[in-house]
Amino acid sequence: MVKKLALIASKGTLDWAYPPFILASTAAALDYEVHIFFTFYGLTLLKKDISDLKVSPLGNPGMPMPVPMPNLVQMIPGMESMATMMMKKKIADKGVASIEDLRTACLESGVKLIACQMTVDLFDFKPEDFIEGIEFGGAATFFEFAGESDVNLFI
């Protein structure tokens, strides 16, 4: 019997893009059937161009910084871009996969990517904004698969 993994991806920052794609691609490698339901900011991860994903240190005291930096400093324009640049450099230096690579791995291994139709409408996204091969659906669509899954995670 094939095991099943159902994920909800609700965040659209560079750092939070990792957990759903890492877990989904790995589960697929372990022969799981995998569905990811992308909702709210998570929808960003299905756009054709995801090279502009960012990470923000603002309001995130858990983020390791080279020097201690109060929120007031992190508010300065350009700080977010700088933090993103530093994170991307670290990612490359440490041999961590890019989000594009992980998403491609998911698609190649048959992970089903579902865009939340309500959020698409809410944010005025167009179907052509997204990569090909995805599906559109609502909460009931998610539960059809989640209800018979072995693992369900909200990210």
Partner 1 sequence: MDFDKELDARGLNCPLPILRCKKGLAEIENGQVLKVMTTDPGAVKDFQAFCKQTGHELLSMEQSENETVFHIRKRAA
- Which chain residues interact with partner 1 by CB under 8 A? 22, 25-26, 29-31, 94-97, 101-102, 105, 109
Could you tell me if 15 and 155 are in contact, meaning their C-beta atoms sit under 8 angstroms apart?
Answer: no
Q: What is the three-class DSSP state of 125?
A: coil
Q: Which CB, 86 or 96, lies closer to partner 1?
A: 96
Could you tell me if 36 and 10 are in contact, meaning their C-beta atoms sit under 8 angstroms apart?
Answer: no
Which helix H or strand E contains 4, and what residues bound it?
strand 4-9
**In the complex, minimum distance from the CB of residue 25 to partner 1, in angstroms, rounded to a whole number:** 6
**In the complex, minimum distance from the CB of residue 100 to partner 1, in angstroms, rounded to a whole number:** 13
Who's near 127: CB < 8 A, 6+ residues apart? 120, 136
**In the complex, minimum distance from the CB of residue 110 to partner 1, in angstroms, rounded to a whole number:** 12
Q: Which CB, 29 or 75, lies closer to partner 1?
A: 29
Residues 131, 133, 135: CA angle, nearest 5 degrees = 100
**In the complex, minimum distance from the CB of residue 61 to partner 1, in angstroms, rounded to a whole number:** 25
Q: Which CB, 48 or 90, lies closer to partner 1?
A: 90
